[in-house]
Structure 1
Amino acid sequence: MKESDNSSHDGLHSNESSGDEGGSKDMDKKKFRVFNPTTEMDDPKFELGLLFKCKIDFINVAKSHGVKYGRKIRFKKNDSNRCKAICRSKRCMWNIYCSVRSDKVTFQIKNMLLTHTCGRTTYHGLASVTYLANKYLVDIRLNPNFNVGDFMIKVHKDLGVSIAPNVGYKYSKLWSYCEELQKANPNSNVFMNTTENNEGDDEFQRFHVCLNGCKRGFLQGCRYVVGLDGCHLKGCHKGVLLTAVGIDPNDHLFLIVYAIVETENKNSWKWFGEELKGDLEIIDESIWAFITDKQKGLVQAIQDVLSGVEHRMCLRHMYNNFKKQHLGLALKERIWVVARASYRDRFAGLESLKEFDEGAYNWQKPILNMLETIRFYLMVRMEKKREWIRKYTGEICPKILKKLEKNKLVANDCIPSHSKDWKFEVRCMYGDRYTVDLISRCCSCRKWDLNGIPCAHAIVAICDTGEESEKFVHDCYSKEAYMRAYEPMINPMNAEQMWKNSDMLPVLPPENIKLPGRPRKAR
């Protein structure tokens, strides 16, 4: 069936649904066609009122549609009473709304728009292992000698998607990937560490990536603030993805360096810190600030490798563990008040709170696919940011302007008194008094000093001089700084079949490490 076959149903069918996604109750009284998963799953014909014996049938046929036509389908409003399939493309309005009938089991299409305005893609992620197993079960049983290569060719021919071969093959291509990545992005720091197993073969240990475009962009347009974190990887061969991120001029995350290591401990974090120090050419450590959690050896590694930097803990990580034992909104507000204290007396006047650790997050992808997904994401993201900033007409990044406007509202409660030149004493309605020096761009509350955005006390003093507060925002938040951060380019790469075969011996996957305790079951 071609998509054009559904032309009679293209458009929004709302005449029988009273303009409501839930549809009319009169639909329960009419007779409608029942979907047959045995004969229609591979060639679905959607129509208004089509019945499904259960919600799973509707989900499966929507996925089958996505695979057949190469569209990214996801499910919104998915619960026991309703399910809406939509296209992931932001500009595509394709959707099918299905809800349960009065018997609480049968689902029925109540509303739909079957016209795709997006293009076909091979990266829809719907051809899962379960989907392929169900679709080709009979073929595999009839042909026991069906090898992996032939199966991959058949899937690509039938569905137009490429499936991942075995994980060991992915590891064997890492040397070629490493060389191709460096070739496409000169002056990048990309390398892999291996260890020798009992048979004398090289096994994967660590993989480090610092793309030149990310490094240059961070050093040219971002503040010297770096956050470190790691997440555990799922799959046959465990590992940990370590990342170093900065903050761009619009207060969004900016990925600098990422690496895959065997485990998260002091040794791996120390290795990552040493490589990061070399990548960013850190000489004067006193002008750098690092934000981390308290994970396995990370604090000690920072002290050993970057002892001169300002090191602070991420409050969000600590609070996620704090709230497990200390519930309630009152404590949540209190801990954030402590964190936002901008001068010592205000911080010391509050009750101290304990710090706790946080576990890592899980993520599953074959190693080569994961590395390539990160690189591709960075390449596309950098270009999207460049395109966005070209169209942006303001001089200060929008997220910073929102913070400035928020401070302006607080400034309504402040009264400035001019001392001399550009110095002011600012009184607040609640009795506090602060001194503001517009030449030095500082306030005794220290908020302006800390983040470079005029505080409420500074804003009311600036207004008293007739100047615009936007002119007193630090240059690190300017449009020019943003353009410098995203000006470097991450170059595209050739497909895997075009990579030059590396002269290095193929690397083997790391040895599986049995984790302590009973494996977690999926329920």
Structure 2
Amino acid sequence: MAVVPHEEELATNPIDVEGEDRDEFHIARLAETFMEGEESIQHDVYPESDEDEDENGPPRLTNITRGDGSLYKNQPFYNGIAFKEAVTDYVLMTGCNLKQYRYDKDKIGFKCVGSEKCEWQVYAASLPRDPMWRIRLIKDVHVCIPNGECEMFKVPVIARLFVDKIRDNPDYYLPAKIEEIILENWKISVTRPQCQSARRKALQWIELEYDMQFSRLRDYGAEILDANKDSVVVIDTVTSEDGKELFNRFYVCFDVLRRTWKDSCRPILGVDGCFLKHKIKGQLLVALGRDADNAIYPIAWSVVQVENTENWLWFVQRLKIDLGLNDGDGFIMISDRQKGLIRAVELELPKIEHRMCVRHIYANLKKNHASKKQMKPLIWNLAWSYNEAQFKQRLERIFAYDTVVYDEVMKSNPRRWCRAFYKIGNYCEDVDNNFTESFNKTINKAREKPFVAMLEMVRRLAMIRIAKRLDLAYSHKGICTPYVKKFLAKEHKIAAACKVSSSTNGMFEVRVSGDTHRVSLKKYTCTCMKYQICGIPCEHAYGVILNKKLTPEDYVCQWFRTNMWKRNYAEGIVPQRGARFWPISEGGSVDVPPDPAQTGRKKITKADKKRKKGVNESPTKKQPKQKKRIMHCRVCGSAEHNSRFHKKQNQPQAAQVDPSQGCITEEN
């Protein structure tokens, strides 16, 4: 503490202090004394005071933390569980063999059983006059040597040690790995069954925790809106007969994702659904876009119980409102041929260009024509036709190959999945929905997690992806994205063989492989139509660029420029807080719904695999084996016994056989 100088001290000071000089001297001495005693500011440290000091030991009030393994007399704890955790930390630090010998509600004790002569003991209790749990007795002297055995290291203790690690990576922390870590880190030997039971118990705790998070689904939605302003979160529930709010549907669209897609992405939507694999069954529906490098850009996702027309209509309606699709004019949607989705798009987005995925079309054809191996290149080449002349030529090849296949192709309406009939101006050549399938594969691990953990993992993957793609975009030095370089590299060989003839108004005639095409670099067009559909010079336009020694990047549309790529990832999803910090929202808790009736083929059970009975076989169940046949005595015909038993019963008595009666009779 700062001490004010006394007058006696001033009198002995050789400096002459009078009047105002005396006051300045006092101030200087006070400042010097204060600076000598000043300590640096520290956060999260309890300040010390005189009344906290205890002559018999450490301060009475200390910062209760776990992990140091220290135990001392009068050490305080909030409850008995905290005391047990402190003893556990002591065991982890020392490796001593402790055992709990007191289990009362307000009294807990541990002793060392490593040796009969070891008197180490610790005892904590909560007393009426002092309700705070404290260590009342401790004998901190060991005479035993740790040998890797510890009786208190039971299943619950192991489960508490590894519950956080199992939550983060359940596939890595298997029983064998847990056993190895315990022996390596703390030199304590446990059995494999103990680790297996501990892992099972930890998973039960985690499951209970996730169930509580699901009941707070509305609070989770409030946290999304709190961290990411102007986002859209819809939680749809239905009321059961007993008044519970059962989960029905969930939808989220982050504001930054929809704004970025509308501002700097091509008007393309890939839509698909995939199954959830945890306790709460259902379908995860996703809507994805394409960035300037032609990679995946997530937009929105939803969870519904069943993939039917009603739920697809609800999802498409949400996308229509949030993305401003209106009637769909000027936009592209790519999906499989799910009937509910097709119907929903027809109702809500009648003018959208709805492309069918060729992979699903070919898969359906393959079911009926599995032996026709040459069908695959014919179907895909038809889909890749850039103009109507190519389309007709390749369609004739299918007709020449197999008329049955040709009829089925025509029934699928190939104008819905062939490039030759795509609308010009959107610059997307996709004929399949591979990028949504790729996204579903990326989130495969997430789909195995509980509901809220699954949603959080999808959000976190999208957030991390945006951050990584931003680094790639800013580290790229070219005018156009890497996708353009790969695209032109495939065309270089044909482009180099092109013969170019100039015309007026920036027009060129290009001859290659017996074909002739008209190219206009000013209008970004070619009569092969590939340039207009892709937005990147086709082999004919690239041949003109090579012939005139021009810069290829100058003739690529704006959607594939590096500046546009940077705009794709200029903003990202804001990180969110954990469940402990979620805000309390209005509305009650959300309960788990019953498993929905999934569409598709019924799962084959063991009962379905039983042998089918024949036509003349009795349909009734056979009688038990003991009732199937009743034994009779062949001597007397009675059903009470057999012949062997009959003879033994009558052996002591003199008997004779009456041939006429066929049984044994006694003599008179």
Q: With the length of structure 1 as denominator, give the TM-score of the two structures.
A: 0.68
- Contact between 1:215 and 1:256, CA under 8 Å: does it hold in 2? yes
Match of 1:366 in 2: 450
Q: Is the 8 A contact 1:226 1:246 kept in 2?
A: yes
Residues of 1 paired with 2:268 and 2:352: CA distance? 10
Give the secondary-structure state (helix, strand or coil) at the position aligned to 1:209.
Answer: strand
How far, CA to CA, are the matches of 2:176 and 2:552 in structure 1?
A: 58
1:235 corresponds in structure 2 to: 278
Amino acid at match of 2:477: T
The gaps in structure 2 that reach 5 residues or longer are 1-91, 93-147, 150-157, 180-189, 399-405, 414-431, 607-668
SS in structure 1 at match of 2:329? helix
- The yes-or-no answer on 1:323 pairing with 2:323 is no
Contact 1:220 1:481 (8 Å CA) reproduced: no
Residue 495 of structure 1 corresponds to which residue in structure 2?
578
1:340 aligned to 384, 396, 410, which one?
384
Offset of 1:136 from its aligned partner? 8.3
Q: Deviations over 1:374-407 (max 9, x none)?
A: 1111111111111111111111111221111211
Shift of 1:220: 2.1
* Contact 2:214–2:452 under 8 Å retained in 1: yes
Aligned to 2:245: 202
The offset of 1:166, in angstroms, is 5.8
Show the counterpart of 1:472.
555
Give 1:84-103 correspondences, 5 Å limit: none
| Matched AA of 1:453 | I
Match of 1:212 in 2: 255
Asked if structure 2 preserves the Cα contact closer than 8 Å seen for 1:441 and 1:449, the reply is: yes
Instruction: Report the CA distance shift for 1:395/1:139 in structure 2 as closer, same or farther (over 3 A).
Output: closer
Percent identity of equivalent pairs = 30
Q: Which residue of 2 aligns with 1:438?
A: 521
> Does residue 458 of the first structure (1) align with residue 541 of the second (2)?
yes
1:114-513 equivalence runs, <5 A: 122-123=168-169, 125-127=171-173, 138=194, 152=202, 163-165=206-208, 168-283=211-326, 285-327=328-370, 330-349=374-393, 350=395, 351=398, 352=406, 354=409, 355=412, 363-429=447-513, 431-513=514-596
Contact 1:171-1:204 within 8 A present in 2 as well:
no
State the alpha-carbon separation in 2 of the partners of residues 483 and 246 from structure 1: 16
Instruction: Write the distance in 1 (CA, Å) between the matches of 2:245 and 2:177.
Output: 35
TM-score by structure 2 length?
Answer: 0.54
Q: CA 1:140–1:428 in structure 2 vs 1: closer, same or farther (change >3 Å)?
A: closer
Deviations along 1:14-71, one digit per CA (max 9) or x if unpaired, are: xxxxxxxxxxxxxxxxxxxxxxxxx99xxxxxxxxxxxxxxxxxxxxxxx9xx98x99
**TM-fit CA distance, 1:519:** 5.5
The verdict on how the C-alpha distance between 1:412 and 1:518 changes in structure 2, with shifts beyond 3 A counting, is same
- Give yes or no for contact 2:280–2:451 (8 Å, CA) kept in 1: no
- Determine if contact 1:239/1:261 at 8 Å carries over to the other structure: yes
Could you tell me which amino acid in structure 2 is paired with residue 442 of structure 1?
T
- Do the aligned partners of residues 407 and 329 (structure 1) sit closer, same or farther apart at CA in structure 2, a change above 3 Å counting? farther
> How far apart in 1 are the matches of 2:165 and 2:549?
56
Deviation for aligned residue 1:139: 8.6
**Whole-angstrom CA distance in 2 between matches of 1:399 and 1:124:** 37
Q: Secondary structure at the match of 1:254?
A: strand
User: CA separation in 1, counterparts of 2:556 and 2:241?
Assistant: 60
Residues 210, 453 of structure 2: 8 Å contact kept: no
Deviations 1:476-500 (A, max 9, x none): 0111111111112210111111112
**Per-residue CA shift, 1:409-455, capped at 9, x if unaligned?**
211232111121310111112x1111111111100000000010100
Among 587, 603, 614, the residue aligned to 1:518? 603
Give the Å deviation of 1:318. Answer: 2.6
By relative contact order (CA 8 Å, sep 6+), the higher-ranking structure is 1
Letter in 1 for 2:481: C
Distance 1:464 1:288, change over 3 A: same
**245-254 vs 127-136, which moves further:** 127-136
The alignment yields a C-alpha RMSD, in angstroms, of 3.6
Pair 172,129 (structure 1): closer, same or farther in 2 beyond 3 Å: farther
Report the number of matched residues. Answer: 396
Verify the 8 A CA contact 1:426 1:461 in the aligned structure 2.
yes
CA distance, structure 1, for counterparts of residue 247 and residue 478 of structure 2:
48
- Following superposition, the deviation at residue 124 of structure 1 comes to 6.4
- 1:518 is matched by which residue type in structure 2? K
Shift of 1:466: 3.0
Distance of aligned partners of 1:452 and 1:484 in 2 relative to their CA distance in 1, 3 Å threshold: same
5+ unaligned residues in a row in structure 1: which ranges? 3-38, 41-63, 73-120, 157-161
**Alpha-carbon shift at residue 296 of structure 1 (Å):** 3.6
CA distance in structure 2 between the aligned counterparts of 1:218 and 1:390, rounded to whole angstroms: 19
Moved more, 236-245 or 165-174: 165-174
Q: Specify the SS of the correspondent of 1:287.
A: coil
Which deviates the most, 506-515 or 288-297?
506-515
Supply the distance in 2 between the matched residues of 1:500 and 1:423 (Cα, whole angstroms).
64
Aligned counterparts of 2:310 and 2:327: Cα–Cα separation in 1: 24
Cα separation, 2, equivalents of 1:255 and 1:343: 31
Give the structure with higher Rg (CA).
Answer: 2
Go from structure 1 to structure 2 and tell me whether the alpha carbon gap of 1:485 and 1:71 turns closer, same or farther (over 3 Å shift).
same
**1:194–1:484 distance in 2 versus 1, CA, 3 Å:** same
